[in-house]
Structure 1
């Protein structure tokens, strides 16, 4: 082979080798690019956290207790059974008070509407509660309820139409326009009734008028036009003797996790199946509910069980077998549920009962009122994974109290009846005021204080 030809063959081989190397490099580059993250063009929306200017803090009370059937000529007529004692306070002094008319009770006292006026750019925290003790032929016991915020949607989880019960639904409209209220009953049979509540008035109707035949009903309250405050007054007669009464506030809506604190189980000489009964409802869906009962001062469960629920059908579970003492009941459900627990301290005359509703989660600073009555105790439940420290102090001055609540545990602090307190916590807790004496029971969940405005995200 000549030198020229040999040179050409060598040059061609070099070009081929170079081409193969370039192709291989390209393949490797493409493979790497496929698996590597590609550049992303992203535009984050502008966001501003804005705290709205607060409005006046407003609370609506319940007013007089009502008696049913005292007029033999009109057994469905309602009359005033007595006016309650009011306990109120706020961070800027006592709130102002105005009265609403009660058209169907001409002899009744006023229904109080309490207002804490905005000062500058902040609204005072206010709290109030009413209480009453009766000992008549048809009503006996102690009843108390916190004054609350009207709602467009709420639930009454309690009451009965069984023999010996006289339960009354009270609806209060503190707005300047009428409210159209639909009461939908969930129970053995479904029913509904629509009621017009005029502006700045209160009206009431017997539970039997909307839930006849249901021994364990749940009532959904839907208002249009103006929000209303719904309260269930319950009373019981056993063997012709009055055996307790209660005022139960409505709960705002169904949730998957509920905490009922302030529960107390009493010793019984008879059937303890009725001493503490939990009522549950899953609106519109099947649900499997896990119930955990924790004693005050303990972190481990005293009882734990599962309850299957059918859609729209209330179920009741007895907490029999628990030792006498104070407890917190935790409800964890696959689907949103509503719940309440009925506790009683005995049977017949000189007995009383109380409905315990879920205590919402509160964090930071709140104000609560302890109504006049028997000795009070603030029960605190910490369902979070971190310890929390709670401090309370009377608004009118006095020594503060502090308690550390371990994660998953409950604790209690004694409080004075007829006083209002400021409560601060280092973490989220659930709280309820329990008032207990022989023949006198009431449990009032501590609510987030009216007047507190939370920041909202605004995307311009």
Structure 2
């Protein structure tokens, strides 16, 4: 072999060896790449935290107490029986006021709509209540009701169509467009009725016209077009004696945990089974509710029991056996429920009754307008595991007080009728104003204020 050929063989061998080495290296690299973490390429979407501008706060009042049957030739016609006294307040002065029409009410007074206008980026806190006292042959007693926000959906948990009752469903549309309201009755007999409420108008209809045949009706109120304020006016006549009146606010919706503040039990002779009664409903499913009753100022359980619930069927249970006094009532259910408690202080002339609706959670500043009327107390309930401190001061200035609400307990504090207060809780509490005198009862759960708007994340 000459030198040139030997060189070619050597060169060829080198190329083969180099190629094999490169191939092996590539194979090893691929295997390593499979098991090695791959680089990630990501881009966070553009986003910004935005706090929406709050809207004006609007409260709709109820207006005159209505009377049915005063004209024997037109027993379903309604007449004004009494005009209420208004108590109002606001953190930026008194709210502005407009009125609604009441075309179905003879001699109608004003139905007020109160507005707290936004200033800059802040919505002022406003509050208002109405109260009325009457002593007539067909209506007697005391009633008070807070002016409230209209809703697209709400529940009227109370009322009766029995002998001696004249209960009225009142619907107010403070919007700029008509609204179609569907009233769905839950009870032994299901029924429904649709009512068109024109813009800027309040209308009413007897409960018996939609809930006949139901001993314990509950009415779901659905509005389409504009939200409505729904109120239930109740009155009772025993034999020939008027035995109380009430104005009941609608419940916002069903929930699994319901708290009542300021439920009262009164001394009674004879059967007390119907003196303090809870009505509740599971709209969607069968379930069970646990009821726990505690006296104000005590953590001990005064009464505890369970109630089986059948879907879409109202249930009533007596809170009997309670010593006279004030109580908190907690409902813990395994399905969402709506509920209310009816309390009364007697059985005939010079007696009164009141439906107590749930007291929602309060965890921010709220303005409380105490109606004019009998002795008033603020009831505060703390269902949490830690103590809460509530600051209470007159809205127009003056000395305030700090109220300690122990964990798992309720306390009460005197408040002045016809006065507005600023309430500031350090933790979540439930609250109501109770007003009590012989033949005069009212309980007003305190609703959360409009509060500051929560920030939201916007993705352009």
TM-score (norm 1): 0.90
Q: Does the 8 Å contact 1:256/1:336 carry over to 2? A: yes
Q: What residue is the counterpart of 2:87 in the other structure?
A: 87
Q: 2: CA distance between counterparts of 1:399 and 1:157?
A: 38
Q: Indicate how the Cα distance of structure 1 residues 38 and 211 shifts in structure 2: closer, same or farther if over 3 A, else same.
A: farther
Alignment of 1:268-347 (within 5 A): 268-347=268-347
Q: 2: CA distance between counterparts of 1:407 and 1:399?
A: 26
Q: What residue is the counterpart of 1:408 in the other structure?
A: 408
Q: Secondary structure of the residue that 1:362 maps to in structure 2?
A: coil
Q: What residue is the counterpart of 2:68 in the other structure?
A: 68
Report the CA distance between 1:452 and its aligned residue.
3.8
Report the CA distance between 1:449 and its aligned residue.
1.1
Root-mean-square deviation over aligned CA pairs: 1.9
Query: Please, which moves more after superposition, 42-51 or 355-364?
Result: 42-51
Q: What residue is the counterpart of 2:382 in the other structure?
A: 382
Q: What residue is the counterpart of 2:105 in the other structure?
A: 105
Q: 2: CA distance between counterparts of 1:393 and 1:266?
A: 30
Report the CA distance between 1:38 and its aligned residue.
12
Alignment of 1:34-433 (within 5 A): 48-433=48-433
Report the CA distance between 1:454 and its aligned residue.
2.8
Q: Does the 8 Å contact 1:362/1:428 carry over to 2? A: yes
Q: Indicate how the Cα distance of structure 1 residues 226 and 305 shifts in structure 2: closer, same or farther if over 3 A, else same.
A: same
Unaligned runs of 5+ in 2: 1-34
Q: 1: CA distance between counterparts of 2:164 and 2:123?
A: 45
Q: Does the 8 Å contact 1:57/1:451 carry over to 2? A: no
Aligned residues: 427
Report the CA distance between 1:119 and its aligned residue.
1.4
Q: 2: CA distance between counterparts of 1:432 and 1:245?
A: 19
Q: 1: CA distance between counterparts of 2:423 and 2:40?
A: 49
Q: What residue is the counterpart of 2:453 in the other structure?
A: 453
Q: Larger Cα Rg: Structure 1 or Structure 2?
A: 2
Report the CA distance between 1:451 and its aligned residue.
5.4
Q: Secondary structure of the residue that 2:428 maps to in structure 1?
A: strand
TM-score (norm 2): 0.90
Q: Secondary structure of the residue that 2:209 maps to in structure 1?
A: helix
Q: Deviation digits for residues 232-283 of structure 1, max 9, x if unmatched? A: 0000001110000000000110000010111010010121111100001000
Q: Does the 8 Å contact 1:290/1:304 carry over to 2? A: yes
Query: Please, which moves more after superposition, 378-387 or 135-144?
Result: 378-387
Q: Does the 8 Å contact 1:59/1:450 carry over to 2? A: no
Q: 2: CA distance between counterparts of 1:263 and 1:79?
A: 32
Q: 2: CA distance between counterparts of 1:47 and 1:319?
A: 54
Q: Does the 8 Å contact 1:155/1:252 carry over to 2? A: yes
Q: Secondary structure of the residue that 2:210 maps to in structure 1?
A: helix
Q: Secondary structure of the residue that 2:105 maps to in structure 1?
A: coil
Q: Deviation digits for residues 299-325 of structure 1, max 9, x if unmatched? A: 121111110000000000000001111
Q: Secondary structure of the residue that 1:210 maps to in structure 2?
A: helix
Q: Indicate how the Cα distance of structure 1 residues 144 and 452 shifts in structure 2: closer, same or farther if over 3 A, else same.
A: farther
Q: Deviation digits for residues 156-198 of structure 1, max 9, x if unmatched? A: 0000101111100000000010000000000010000000000
Q: Does the 8 Å contact 1:56/1:451 carry over to 2? A: no
Q: Deviation digits for residues 75-112 of structure 1, max 9, x if unmatched? A: 11111111100000000111111111111114111100
Unaligned runs of 5+ in 1: 1-33
Report the CA distance between 1:386 and its aligned residue.
1.5
Q: 2: CA distance between counterparts of 1:306 and 1:40?
A: 56
Report the CA distance between 1:48 and its aligned residue.
4.5
Q: Secondary structure of the residue that 1:273 maps to in structure 2?
A: coil
Q: 2: CA distance between counterparts of 1:368 and 1:66?
A: 26
Q: Indicate how the Cα distance of structure 1 residues 204 and 38 shifts in structure 2: closer, same or farther if over 3 A, else same.
A: farther
Q: 2: CA distance between counterparts of 1:85 and 1:291?
A: 36
Q: Deviation digits for residues 40-96 of structure 1, max 9, x if unmatched? A: 998877664432111111100000010000000011111111110000000011111
Q: Indicate how the Cα distance of structure 1 residues 269 and 110 shifts in structure 2: closer, same or farther if over 3 A, else same.
A: same
Q: Indicate how the Cα distance of structure 1 residues 267 and 458 shifts in structure 2: closer, same or farther if over 3 A, else same.
A: farther
Q: Secondary structure of the residue that 1:258 maps to in structure 2?
A: strand
